[in-house]
Amino acid sequence: MPASETKTAEGLRARRGRETRAAILKAAERVFAEGGLDGARTDAITAAAGVNKALLYYYFRSKDALYSAVIEALYEEFYRREMAVLSGEDCVRSTLLRFVTTHFDFIAARPYYPPLFQRLLVAGGRPLERLGRKYLVPLSRKLVKLIERGVRRGELRPADSHHTALSLVALTVFYFSAAPVVKIIRHVDPYERAQLARRKQEVLDFIRYGLFRNPEARLP
């Protein structure tokens, strides 16, 4: 086989491999969110992904390894997106609003993320500690420094930077974590587009008027 054809075939195999792995991760995200690690069945995952069980174990050595890969992929993507926001040099107010918007949009597009995150918190132990140290600690430090810079510059009102960081995250996290309760109380789907748009605007306005020194000032 000519070298060009060999490279083409290798490229196709590599692409199919990436697609297969991604399909397994996507299917596993839903199954793990619904049943947890113990309740999830590999048969359900392979059926949803449209692959055989051998391929699941080819790409992931075990159900535990697959679960870890699902969680890691979510954390890694969230970390990459938010670190890009926090590493910018724009005004603090604009950066804070982009940070919250990115966080909100990330979870809104991934309805299985909240139950996965809650299960991880409840389980605790080494997996949570490892992921926290690898992804959440660096992000938290960046966010705290951003808030402190905003207070020094007079963009933000004086506030405890650590508690403010927690509050900024909680404004988004609680809405999605409590989505089943919100649905019962308000008789609406919290993930419906209009509800998401309204909630995000309310969160951003809450931050403007609760944290910005001049909430009506135009952002650069």
Q: Rounded distance, CA 151 to CA 161, Å?
A: 9
Ramachandran area for residue 59 (φ above 0: left; ψ -120 to 50: alpha; else beta): alpha
**Residues of each domain in the chain carrying CATH 1.10.357.10:** 62-220
Specify whether the CB–CB gap between 100 and 17 falls below 8 A: no
CATH architecture of 1-60: Orthogonal Bundle (1.10)
**Residues of each domain in the chain carrying CATH 1.10.10.60:** 1-60
Answer yes or no: CATH 3.30.70.600 is held by domain 62-220.
Answer: no
Q: What is the DSSP letter of 132?
A: I
Q: What is the pTM of this model?
A: 0.88
pLDDT above 90: residue 148: yes
Q: What is the mean pLDDT of residues 142-161?
A: 96
Beta bridge partners of 212: 156
Max Cα-Cα span within the chain: 70
Q: Rounded distance, CA 31 to CA 40, Å?
A: 6
Q: What is the mean pLDDT of residues 193-212?
A: 97
pLDDT above 80: residue 147: yes
